[in-house]
């Protein structure tokens, strides 16, 4: 089975390239399921019911999130109402929605687990322990394929989690840094891995933002209201090929212009 994971979609430009590229990608690669990180899909950051609808219209089965998931006020209802829009599972219990869902293929099921890191981020619950708990849940729910989105800043934390989960889940992909890493691989016990999927949005940008605004914030250190860049977009992600019993056979990074 082939499962495509797509890096953080940035704004309406990101939603548009998703809609223009995903249907053909799905056909050409024979993709069975698509997981998209949508934490930046709304213009002005976060996710809204409208941006989530655009991602689902493009062909996504599950939307994962991150530190920006609950930024927009109407994101609260979205997460409560739609079980396929996830926020990190290791948020506190006060957060709406959840970080785990099941996709039923009929002959097998895929569990999707969304986690957020602790290193250089807010102090959330431990992603390792949350993963253990949700893997047990996935087994009880009869999922043979388990996908994990680790939304984190530190490459070491993502990689440590991937080795910790090697052989226990089908694949682990990192999100949040918006820069695709060149390390997609299958770990020794059969778990596919990439440290960061990259981003889906404006190519000539700093993580999706207009470069001049990033320079102003980082160089001049003055308060700056970010705006998304314009111009041509790319779609970045990773295609995992897994057996029906959940072992990863192949992991290939994709960059589609
Ligand atoms: Fe992001
Ligand atoms: Fe993020």
Q: Are 37 and 60 in contact (CB under 8 A)?
A: no
38 C-alpha to ligand 2 centroid (Å): 10
- The full set of domains in the chain, from first to last, is 2-203+234-256 (3.60.21.10)
Residues whose CB falls within 8 Å of the CB of residue 46, separated by 6 or more in sequence, listed in order: 39, 40, 68, 69, 70, 71, 72, 75
Helix (H) or strand (E) holding 133: helix 127-140
Q: Which ligand is nearest to the CA of 153?
A: 2
Backbone angles phi, psi at 244, to 5 degrees: -65, -25
Residues with CB under 5 A from ligand 1 (ion): 8, 39-40
pLDDT (0 to 100) of residue 44: 87
- Alpha-carbon distance 244 to 26, whole Å? 19
- Beta strands (DSSP E) in 29-170 are 33-37, 62-64, 100-104, 109-116, 145-151
Q: Are 90 and 133 in contact (CB under 8 A)?
A: no
Q: What is the dihedral of CA 242, 198, 165, 135, to 10 degrees?
A: -80
Bridge partners for 70 per DSSP:
none
The question of whether 68 is a catalytic residue gets the answer yes
68 C-alpha to ligand 2 centroid (Å): 6
Helix (H) or strand (E) holding 33: strand 33-37
Backbone angles phi, psi at 239, to 5 degrees: -105, 120
Place of tokens 């069975």: 32
Q: Would the CA dihedral through 150, 152, 157, 159 be positive or negative?
A: positive
pTM confidence score: 0.98
161 C-alpha to ligand 2 centroid (Å): 17
pLDDT in tens, the chain (257 residues): 999 999 999 999 999 999 999 999 999 999 999 999 999 999 989 999 999 999 999 999 999 999 999 999 999 999 999 999 999 999 999 999 999 999 999 999 999 999 999 999 999 999 999 999 999 999 999 999 999 999 999 999 999 999 999 999 999 999 999 999 999 999 999 999 999 999 999 999 999 999 999 999 999 999 999 999 999 999 999 999 999 999 999 999 999 99
């Amino acid at each position: 089975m082939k499962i495509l994971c797509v890096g953080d979609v940035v704004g309406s430009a990101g939603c548009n390239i998703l809609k223009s590229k995903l249907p053909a990608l799905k056909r050409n690669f024979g993709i069975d399921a698509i997981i998209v990180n949508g934490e930046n899909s709304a213009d002005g950051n976060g996710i809204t019911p409208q941006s989530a609808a655009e991602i689902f219209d493009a062909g996504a089965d599950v939307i994962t999130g991150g530190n920006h998931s609950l930024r927009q006020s109407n994101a609260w209802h979205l997460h409560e109402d739609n079980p396929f829009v996830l926020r990190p599972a290791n948020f506190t219990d006060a957060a709406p929605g959840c970080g785990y869902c099941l996709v039923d293929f009929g002959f097998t099921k895929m569990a999707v687990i969304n986690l957020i890191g602790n290193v250089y981020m807010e102090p959330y619950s431990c992603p390792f322990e949350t993963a253990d708990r949700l893997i047990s849940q996935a087994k009880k729910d009869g999922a043979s394929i388990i996908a994990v989105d680790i939304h984190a800043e530190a490459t070491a934390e993502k990689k440590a989690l991937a080795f910790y989960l090697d052989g226990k889940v089908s694949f682990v992909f990192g999100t949040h840094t918006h820069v695709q890493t060149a390390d997609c691989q299958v770990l020794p016990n059969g778990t596919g891995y990439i440290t960061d999927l990259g981003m889906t949005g404006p190519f000539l940008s700093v993580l999706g933002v207009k470069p001049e605004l990033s320079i102003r914030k980082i160089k001049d250190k003055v308060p700056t209201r970010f705006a998304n860049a314009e111009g041509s977009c790319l779609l970045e992600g990773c295609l995992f090929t897994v057996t029906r019993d959940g072992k990863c056979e192949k992991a290939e990074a994709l960059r589609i212009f």
